[in-house]
Structure formats: structure tokens, C-alpha cells
Structure 1
Amino acid sequence: MRSTSSIARSALVLACAVALASSAPAAAERGPVIDAEAIRAQLDLITSTDRVPGALAEVSDRRRRPVTVTSGTAGLGTGLPMVGSAGRFRIASVTKPFTAVAVMQLVVRHQVRLDAPIETYLPGVVRGTGEGHEIDGRTITVRQLLQNTSGLPDYVSFLSPGDLREPVEAAELVRIALAHRPDFTPGDGWQYSNTGYVLAGMLVERLTRKDIGTAVTELVIRPVHLRDTYWPPAGERRIRGPHARNYTLNASDPAGPLVDVTEFEPSWAGAAGAMVSTPADLNQFWQELFGGRLLPRWALNQMLTSVLAPDLGPKAEYGLGVARLPLSCGGGVWAHGGDLAGGGVANVSGLDDSGRAATVYITALTGGASIDHMLGTFDTALCS
């Protein structure tokens, strides 16, 4: 499995995407000002040239009026149209903003200090072994875990496809990472790491005395009424409710038929990428978060306090569970993206400076072009 957000490593760069069309004056608005045909043209490219069975874009303007555009089918050989805005899918690393908000809820309650060492809350857990002997939780803060400035190696980099079959404990994922050399001294660089978010999930579990899925449901999902969003427990490999099938390339025959990987063991993604949601719910999440209904303004400002994230591209920054990315039409978007190679899905979701939210996802990973075109669709959705 690749990173639960290899998009966030390199492909979440929107500056090279092409914005199409323009919007009518706001004063003349009678409905959402969105160029659906420009979006559809991008999605059709994904479902034809890129061999992706299905693709979707959901855009919600600042008045929360949605437009949904789809292309392709919900499953190979089924003839069924691609599911719509209420179709569930694995959101991969877009889980990270939810985990970060849960941590920030504990900050608001004065149970966590962002600049305290993780050792304060998980004593003895973050201790490197072997090549990772330098790693010490007494020198890594909670903020650094959430901001990807901890230097912790990414456990996903050391997994093979065969590792993803059985449920796994979060502590085991951390142990995998801690046996490897750190990427840099804590605070001295930026490098995307799922390990930091697994530890953040363990922190939430320790302080709430609830499993991470229950804690995030109570702290984040339920307060803003995300009715189709849930955290699958370990061992639950199927997606509940309406959803499209997911696919990936056959490693031994990349040009051959796609492999169905809809069933996926979520515990391998954990607090870094296990959640299931819908395009409509994700757009609502962003608008509720930035509307102040999950965190007080001072806490949200902490989330948005960012550092340069050069791996994400020119002018990209990363806060606490959210990336700040430029748009080709000017301004920017607070967003996150993710993909699950073992789960055959990629997506990107966020909110721009005008309050417009967008989510784009594709149902197969067929190579870098499909990711680039997905990101181009995201840019088009917010710029057209």
C-alpha cells in the first residue's frame, strides 16, 4: 500500500491544473454559479483515457447549494450509472482533518497542549528501536505530529500488499515505523507521515477512554450531523450502504483487467485514513468547520497556522490536518487529499476562500495521470 495520501506527497499540486470558464457576477446569482460542463469534460477524460470506471465531483457554493457531476459507472460490467452525492466511499487521508479536529477538541477542553511532548500523554510509547534508536517521544510535540514536522518515518513505506489482509493494532503500526531511521530532527523539516496521525489517534483514545472511531463520531461527526459518515471498525471490510466498486491495476499485468479491491481492512489506515463518507457530507464538514461550528475561532486559527510543505508543490503549506494550496484562478483552498492503493480509491476535498466546497473522487488507481486529472477537476470545480 502506498501512503494513505500519496496525493498529499506530490500530486496535491493544483498550480499546474487548468481552470476553465468563468462565473457570472455574484449579484446576478439565481443558482450555483458552476460550469458543470467544464467539470464533466474533466471527469470524462478520467473515465475514458485513464481507464477509471467511475468519477464524481460535488460542489457546494457558500449558500450550500450543491451541484453533482458524474461520469462512468458504479462497477465494471454492471451498466449501473456512477453513484451520486450520497454514495459512500473510503476517504483515505481526508480522515486526517477529522482526527486533527478531535485532538483540537481536547485542546479546547484543556486536556491537551499542542506544544507538549507526546510523551506527556503516551508515556513510553514513542521510543525508537534498531535504526530508529534516536526517536524519542520526549522531543516530539503534539503539534509536530499533526503538522508532519515530527520527522517520524511513515509506517506505510515499509508495508507490502500481503500485510493488508488481517486487522492490526495501532501500536503495531507505530512499532513498524519506530524501527526505522527518522527523516529529520523534530521541527527541522516537513515530511508527510501517517505515523503521526496513528499516534494522534492513540492520544485521543487514551484521553477519551474510547476507541478512535467512537471518539471521532462523538466529537466531530455527530455534532455537525454527518449522517452518512462513519468509522469502520477493525475487521469490517465492506462499505455500508450505496457505493461504487473500487479497483486497482494488476501488478503482474498492468495493461490487463483491473482488480476489484472494494473490500479493504480499515485498521491498516487507522486514524490516518480509515473513514468512510460521502461527497455531500465532506462538503458539509468543511463548511461547518470553517463556519465555527466545530471549534472556536482561536482553535481553528491554530489548525490553520501552517508551515511550508515543499513536497506538496510551490507555495503549498500545511497546518494541523489541512493543507493550504494555490488555485490556478488565484487565491487558495484549505484541503486534503488521499488515496488507498489497497482500497483502489483517490479523492481530494476542501473549501476555497469564497466558502465554496468541493469534493472529487475516482474509483480506481490506474497511474499518475488519473490523479493529475482528478486534481485538475478539483481546480476546475473551484475556479470555473
Structure 2
Amino acid sequence: MTTEKVRHALHRAVTEGGVPGILAEARQGDSRWFGSDGTADRETGRERRQEDRFRIGSITKTFVATVALRLTAEGTLNLNDTVEKWLPGLLHGNGHDGSGVTLAQLLNNTSGIVNYTDDTETLQQTGNCTPEQLVRMALSHPAPFAPGTDWAYSNTNYVLAGLIIERATGRPLADEIARHITGPLGLSGTYLPRGDDSSIVGPHSRHYTKLHSPDPDAEIYDATELDPTPYWAAGAMISTAGDLNRFFRALLGGRLLPAPQQAEMFTMVPTKDWLPGTTYGFGISSLALDEGRTVWGMAGALFGSWTCAYGTRDGRHVLTVNLNADWANAPWDDPLGLLTEVLAAQFQPDEAADRTASGAAAGTAHR
């Protein structure tokens, strides 16, 4: 398993990217590797640890989509169910119509529903939010396109999917995530916060933010304690690198979903105005790396925390990387470029295997 280039990338993130700290954990077959650089706490100087928990942002969507697909396998939900069926009267206004939006369109971001987090001014003024309030925030803006005719990333889709899961099961979304995923897989460091609990339970790194300021010298704030209600099913979960690797190994490896639902999750559509080099399925994306390899997983960001969790399509080789910051200095200028560099270092072509394959091919040619 590649480690030296990954260690170098982690070190550059701190020394050149200016982030407080970074950690990464990789799994390949039966091998496991963990590395970190920088600090988990700027006041104490403590190193980032393998057991540290952090906010995973939109990787929450992969958990929610997995639960939804497991419920379709049970017959509780159907991908053709409309929002109106489960949440009558909620999705109406400004060109939005819940009777024309299906669960499948929520999960793959083709619903045409406005992303409520784009309305930053209203979101900041609202504070503690219910999921229904988040939906109404989106409905104050006109629908950008008719359902199924285009693609646009929208956190509102997953708030609605979370509400549908709760309505269909009669149980909180946090309980359904525990029942279907974190319990069976033993993900003891992973959970969806309940209510407005702003803490991170258990060992964790501090989370640092510059509040989206592009100024390299901008003031740094501690965002570790954060009201999760504005993000909920779209991005409020907390996890560890080891737990995320275990989850994606199981998901990519086909051990969480029956074959029909697995095929649905990985029916990919092109993205638009989102992460470069990606396609999107149901809560999961593919990412084309510079080395010509494609990895599968999800990225997530919240104030003070950026995370990537990606792996090979069979799930045998996975990597999770987390920054306890939401910025990166030049030459990256944004955290995603920095995280992608770590992914590229981890998933670089296996030079030894390539040499063996080349030698075998040469031998075959001579024979």
C-alpha cells in the first residue's frame, strides 16, 4: 500500500496549505494504514488521532440514500413514490410540485428543487431549524428546471428524503441509520446528532473556520460546537476515518444492498456546476483522478471540516481524509484540490504491479 507519497501530501497540506491538521486512513485488502500531520487543537498542540471524530458534511447523504434503498428492498418505500404521497402539501409553490417529484429524483439530484443552503442570508437569520422550515426556505425561490430534465446539487433533496424515511417508518432518521448501517457494521464513532445538540460526543479534533473568507490572513474561528439542525439529513453526521472506511468497503463491496438496489445506487448521471470530474448516483459520486483512475465515494464539508471518502469500485481499497479546517492556501486555494491530491497519491498506479504486467506482456510477445 502506498504511504510515502501520502505522508508527503499530508505534510504539504499543513506546511504549504496552512491547514491546522489533516488525517488519513487507508484500507487495502487486509492492510490498514493511518497517518496525520499538524494539530487537532491549536491551543494544546495535540496531534490528530485515529479515534478522533469529525463532522462529515455531505457524506451523510450516502448513509441516507443507503437507508432509503434498504427500505425499498423491504417494500416500505418505492423509488417511484412521490414527495406528495408521503409529505402531502409540503412541496408546493414557485414551480415546485411534490406530485411530480419522485424519491429517485431526490436521491440523484434531478428533482429541480432549489438548494436551501444557497440562501445563506436567510439560513443565517433562521438559526435553529426544523426540516420543514428548510424546505420552505427552498420554496421561496423558483424551481430552476422541471423534475428529471437536468441535474443540480441540492441539500433540500436529502432533507425531503430524510422526512420521507421518518414518515414511512414512523421512526427518527437517526434510529434508521443505526438500525440499517451503524449497528450492523459496528460503527461506534458514527451517528446523526439528535435535535440541536451542538457537541461532538467522544474524542474529537477541534474544527476551525475562516467563514469562507479568501484572505489568507483572515481570522480563524473555532466551529467545533455547531447547531446541526440547518444540515440534518443533508450533512449533519459525525464519524471517524476508520468507520467511514468500513462503511464504504461494505457499500462498494455489495454487502449493504441487494443487487437490484446496488445497481440503482450506482446508476450514475453527469454532474453540473459541482465537483469537477464527477458523476453522481444515489448519494454517491465517481471521481476521475489525474492518474487515469476512477474512485467511488463522497466528499463532505461543513464549517471547520472537509472530508473525502473514496475507494475502488469493489471496495477492497478505500481512503478517508479529513481536514479540521475549511480553507487551503495556494497552490490549491480550496480544500477540495488539496484533498484530491491526497487521493491521487493513495490511488496512484501500482508501479510494481505495472512492471510485472509489462514484463508478462513482453514475455508473451517473445513467445
* TM-score (normalised: structure 2): 0.89
Counterpart secondary structure, 1:364: coil
Partner deviation per Cα, 1:307-330 (whole Å, 9 max, x = no partner): 111334565211000011212333
- Structure 2 contact 37–48 (Cα < 8 Å) conserved: yes
- Structure 2 contact 198–225 (Cα < 8 Å) conserved: yes
1:70 partnered with 2:36: yes
CA apart distance, 1:80: 1.0
1:293 partnered with 2:255: yes
1:294 partner letter? L
Q: 1:233 aligns with which of 190, 194, 205?
A: 194
1:247 partner letter? Y
Q: 2:267 aligns with which of 302, 305, 329?
A: 305
C-alpha distance 352-102 of structure 1, shift in aligned 2 (>3 A):
same
Q: 2:70 aligns with which of 102, 105, 116?
A: 105
Counterpart secondary structure, 1:325: strand
C-alpha distance 306-184 of structure 1, shift in aligned 2 (>3 A):
same
Counterpart secondary structure, 2:23: strand
CA apart distance, 1:232: 0.9
- Number of the residue aligned with 1:380: 345
- Structure 1 contact 308–315 (Cα < 8 Å) conserved: no
- Structure 1 contact 166–235 (Cα < 8 Å) conserved: no
Counterpart CA distance in 2 for 1:99 and 1:166 is: 23
CA apart distance, 1:370: 3.1
1:123 partnered with 2:88: yes
CA apart distance, 1:176: 0.2
- Number of the residue aligned with 1:327: 289
Counterpart CA distance in 1 for 2:169 and 2:10 is: 42
Partner deviation per Cα, 1:324-343 (whole Å, 9 max, x = no partner): 12123333111110111xx3
Counterpart secondary structure, 2:229: helix
1:146 partner letter? L
Q: 2:336 aligns with which of 362, 365, 371?
A: 371
Counterpart CA distance in 1 for 2:160 and 2:21 is: 34
Question: Percent of counterpart pairs with the same letter?
Answer: 35
CA apart distance, 1:204: 0.5
- Structure 1 contact 308–318 (Cα < 8 Å) conserved: yes
- Structure 2 contact 158–234 (Cα < 8 Å) conserved: yes
1:352 partnered with 2:318: no
Counterpart CA distance in 2 for 1:109 and 1:322 is: 21
Q: 2:58 aligns with which of 75, 93, 98?
A: 93
Partner deviation per Cα, 1:174-211 (whole Å, 9 max, x = no partner): 00001101121111111100000000000000011111
C-alpha distance 102-179 of structure 1, shift in aligned 2 (>3 A):
same
Higher RCO structure (Cα 8 Å, ≥6 apart): 1
Q: 1:52 aligns with which of 7, 16, 19?
A: 19
Q: 1:138 aligns with which of 91, 99, 106?
A: 99
- Structure 1 contact 57–69 (Cα < 8 Å) conserved: yes
The range that moved more, 283-292 or 100-109, is 283-292
- Structure 1 contact 55–363 (Cα < 8 Å) conserved: yes
- Structure 2 contact 245–318 (Cα < 8 Å) conserved: yes
Counterpart secondary structure, 1:213: helix
State how 1:164-175 maps to structure 2 within 5 Å: 166-175=127-136
1:80 partnered with 2:46: yes
* TM-score (normalised: structure 1): 0.85
CA apart distance, 1:120: 1.6
Partner deviation per Cα, 1:332-377 (whole Å, 9 max, x = no partner): 111110111xx31101102213521111110111253333111211
What is the RMSD of the two structures over their aligned residues, measured on CA atoms? 1.9
- Structure 2 contact 306–335 (Cα < 8 Å) conserved: no
- Number of the residue aligned with 2:356: none
Partner deviation per Cα, 1:125-152 (whole Å, 9 max, x = no partner): 1112xxx2x1101111111100010111
- Structure 2 contact 123–230 (Cα < 8 Å) conserved: no
**Unaligned 5+ residue runs, structure 2?**
350-367
Counterpart secondary structure, 2:273: helix
Q: Which has the larger radius of gyration?
A: 2
- Number of the residue aligned with 2:355: none
Aligned residue-pair number = 343
Counterpart CA distance in 2 for 1:332 and 1:250 is: 32
1:361 partnered with 2:314: no
C-alpha distance 141-241 of structure 1, shift in aligned 2 (>3 A):
same
- Structure 1 contact 87–244 (Cα < 8 Å) conserved: yes
**Unaligned 5+ residue runs, structure 1?**
1-32
Counterpart CA distance in 2 for 1:67 and 1:46 is: 18
1:255 partnered with 2:217: yes
Counterpart CA distance in 2 for 1:51 and 1:244 is: 16
- Number of the residue aligned with 1:151: 112
C-alpha distance 282-251 of structure 1, shift in aligned 2 (>3 A):
closer
C-alpha distance 61-161 of structure 1, shift in aligned 2 (>3 A):
farther
Q: 2:298 aligns with which of 314, 336, 343?
A: 336
Q: 2:161 aligns with which of 200, 216, 220?
A: 200
Counterpart CA distance in 2 for 1:315 and 1:157 is: 22
CA apart distance, 1:165: 8.0
1:366 partner letter? W
C-alpha distance 237-161 of structure 1, shift in aligned 2 (>3 A):
farther
Counterpart secondary structure, 1:219: helix
2:209 partner letter? T
1:178 partnered with 2:144: no
CA apart distance, 1:164: 7.4
